[in-house]
Amino acid sequence: MMEPIGNPDSIPLESLESVSPRAFELSFQNVSYCVKHKHDRTHSAILKNLSGSFRSGRLVGIMGPSGAGKSTLLNVLSGFKKSNVTGQLMVDGQRLSERRSRKIISYTQQEVCLWPALTVEESLRYAAEFKLSPTIDQHQKRARVRELLHVLGLTGCADTLAGSVSGGQAKRLSIGLELLSDPKVMLLDEPTSGLDTVAAYQVLAHVKQLAARGRVIVCVIHQPNSQQLLLIDDLYVLAKGRRIYSGPTGEMVTQFARFGLDCPVSHNPADYALEVASLDQEDDRLKRLMMEEEKDIFDYNPPRLMVEKSVDGSYQRYALSTLQQLRVLLRRTTSCTMRETYQFKARILINIAIAIITSVAFYNTGNNADRILANTAVLIINLYAIFFTSIVSAVLVYPRESACFVLESKNNWYSLRAYYLAKIVVELPTLILSSSVFFLIVYYFTAQPFEWLRIGTFALVCLMFGWISQMLGLLLGSLLSVQNSVFVSILIMVPASLFSGFFVPLRDASVLVRPLLYVSFVRYAFEGAVHAIYGFDRPDLDCPEVFCYFRQLKRFLQFVSMPDLAYGYDLLALAGWIVLLMGAVYLSLRRRIKQD
Ligand SMILES: Nc1ncnc2c1ncn2[C@@H]1O[C@H](COP(=O)(O)OP(=O)(O)OP(=O)(O)O)[C@@H](O)[C@H]1O
């Protein structure tokens, strides 16, 4: 059941205010956006030469039938969509730079992106930490969070996990997260969807108050009822990517009537606007209406009211320094990891289960010269277990997490650098713990030599290999959907395993396969593991039979084409892969922030 929403009239808005009440105007001119269809290489125009201006202090509603281009327009104005976009975005007639537009414009998308392991209140608190100046003390930050909880009607579910709240509550929470930073321009994509009419009215009323205090607030709104419509100062109506009305709400019906589109007295003007926007594009009245709107667009001359600086004030993008961002990110990620223990526990349990099965199958093979090939298989199984548990947990979780990161980063919560550092710091202990559990069990029960040098060198190879797998998982998770990442990880691992040097040793490899062996990170990990166990002048193995060819380990190392002194090179190659993949993850996240 929807809980009662706080009365916006009673909200002490002053404390949420910091913007200058000086008026400004956000305008856009000749904005077009087209998409390229990959299958037939044709283009479709989604937004067609749109212009308009939104004044501070007014609540603007963007309306239009489904598919008219409302969300696309917000994506373009927010800078979330950049490619194939033409046109200009201006504040007070001055072009906005990308950096400045990010600073002053916040965008709340239709899909909410929340951290499911944090409670509603914690989500707002972390947002306050990221977005409010560090000079504001904790007491004030908490007071703001409480105000917002009240404003958005979330007090009753303040302690509920964000992953468990209703759709409407999640929507309100995501608006609250952006409201905290007090942006000068707020673009809200369907802020009332998922709310009942009373709650929708109250949210709009609140948003209107925020606008009245000197902001531009633009909401995509589907079908406002007549009461909600009274709250909207200006309407911008779209039909198939073209503007059919832009101006005060109260004048829309008169404008339509001038073109023979008379709104019946009993009709809600918003419903009628949708009817008009849904008319056949060949309808003569609609054509004339559009021509009239577009005539205005071409005559449009943005007024030069004030310089841009009066709106922007400061160009600092983030409220916190990188170090401060890192600290908050670490706290948040640690809280989430400690609560979302299912994935971690599953990873540890799977490692233990595979370790026990492997130990039973290869019990005591470690010092037996007759079973040296079986023992070598233990080493490769060890690597596969680390690979699959690391990569699968990354690809399952990361697409969702990276989507939240992209949204928060685009809305200036923190920098990629801080996020990336925090991610690495948090991932490492998980990796060390889960990999160690596996290799210690297997190492002990398969009777590998109990020498610190060998344990250390073997552990180092396992960890470096685990880190490569983890980075590969993050890379796939940041580029692809969960489904595709799983398929692609299998596609990578099968050939990488084939060319590990175990199934096809270097000496038997054909000219075609040889280059693959040189680049396969599995081969370097396998080779490093073999050296850790059998290298470093290990004495001869036990031989339970009359004769064991591989009793002398030099013979075995020659047989598997592994020169004795190669451990250092193996580490170097693994380190190279780590650097490469870490760079690739960083670039892929950067690309995602920059792309649409
Ligand atoms: N990347 C894209 N590739 C192909 N078509 C696209 C792309 N982005 C948007 N479109 C198309 O552009 C049109 C406008 O989409 P948009 O999401 O802006 O509509 P909308 O008015 O917000 O609709 P709704 O109210 O249903 O959310 C739709 O027909 C959509 O299919």
- pLDDT digits over 449-489, tens only? 999 999 999 999 999 999 999 999 999 988 888 888 888 88
176-194 confidence digits (pLDDT tens): 888 787 788 999 998 887 6
29-39 confidence digits (pLDDT tens): 888 888 887 76
Over the range 41-80, which residues count as b (16 or more CB within 10 Å of their CB) and which as e?
Answer: eeeeebbbbbbbbbbbbbbbbbbbbeebbbbbbbbbbbbb
Cβ-in-10-Å burial (0-12, 13-18, 19+) of 37 comes to exposed
CA of 259 to the centre of ligand 1 (A): 28
pLDDT at 300 over 60: no
Average pLDDT, the chain: 83
Residue 68 Cβ contacting ligand 1 at under 6 Å? yes
Higher pLDDT residue, 561 or 515? 515
* Residues 186, 215 contacting (CB under 8 angstroms): yes
69 C-alpha to ligand 1 centroid (Å): 6
**From 224-228, 456-460, 471-475, 592-596, the region with the lowest mean pLDDT:** 592-596
Q: How far is the CA of 46 from the centre of ligand 1 (A)?
A: 7
Distance between CA atoms of residues 34 and 495, nearest Å: 40
Q: What is the pLDDT of residues 358-398, one digit of tens each?
A: 999 999 888 888 888 899 988 888 888 888 888 887 888 78
Counts for the chain of helices (H) and strands (E), in that order: 21, 10
Give me the residue label for tokens 């060890």: 382
Q: Is the CB of residue 67 below 6 angstroms from any atom belonging to ligand 1? A: yes
**Non-local CB neighbours of 27 within 8 Å, separated by 6+ positions:** 51, 52, 53, 54, 89, 90, 91, 93, 302
528's tokens: 């490093």
Mean pLDDT confidence for 137-163: 88
Which residue's CA is the closest to the ligand 1 atom numbered 31? 67
φ/ψ bin of 36: left (φ > 0), alpha (ψ from -120 to 50), beta (otherwise): beta
Answer with the residue of higher pLDDT: 103 or 528: 528
Q: What's the pLDDT score for residue 565?
A: 60
- CB of 66 shorter than 6 A to ligand 1: yes
Q: Is the CB of 69 under 6 A from ligand 1?
A: yes
Give the nearest ligand 1 atom to 72 CA. 18
Going by pLDDT thresholds of 50, 70 and 90, the confidence category of residue 6 is very low
Per mean pLDDT, which range of 205-214, 223-232, 462-471 is the poorest? 205-214
Residue 401 has pLDDT above 60, yes or no: yes
* pLDDT recorded at residue 234: 94
Starting at the edge strand that comes first in sequence, how are the strands of the sheet with 234-239 ordered?
A: 105-108, 185-189, 216-220, 59-63, 234-239, 242-248
Q: Residue 119 in 3-state DSSP?
A: strand
Q: Is 100 in the pocket of ligand 1 (CB under 6 A)?
A: no
ipTM confidence = 0.96
Mean pLDDT is lowest, of 16-25, 416-425, 551-560, for 16-25
Residue 273, pLDDT > 60, answer yes
Rounded mean pLDDT, 114-123: 92
Number of C-alpha atoms within 13 angstroms, CB side, residue 60? 26
- Residue 19 pLDDT: 46
Pocket perturbation via mutation, ligand 1, pick of 43, 48, 63, 71 by most ligand atoms within 8 A of CB: 71
| Residue 297 pLDDT class (50, 70, 90 cuts) | low
Q: Which of 41-50, 113-122, 342-351, 491-500 has the highest mean pLDDT?
A: 113-122
Secondary structure (3-state) at 198: helix
Task: Tell me: pLDDT of 321 over 60.
Answer: yes
Q: From ligand 1's centre to the CA of 102, what distance in Å?
A: 23
DSSP string for 323-351: HHHHHHHHHHHHHHHHH-HHHHHHHHHHH
Residue 434's pLDDT band, with cuts at 50, 70 and 90, is: confident
Instruction: Give 21's pLDDT tier (boundaries 50, 70, 90).
Output: low
For residue 238, the ligand 1 atom closest to its alpha carbon is: 21
User: How far does CA 107 lie from the centroid of its chain?
Assistant: 15
> Residue 70: CB within 6 Å of ligand 1?
yes
Q: DSSP per residue over 373-435, as a string?
A: HHHHHHHHHHHHHHHHHHHHHHHHHHHHHHHHHHHHHHTTSS-HHHHHHHHHHHHHHHHHHHH
Is 518 or 446 the better-scoring residue by pLDDT?
446
- The percentage of residues in the chain with a pLDDT greater than 90, rounded to a whole number, is 27
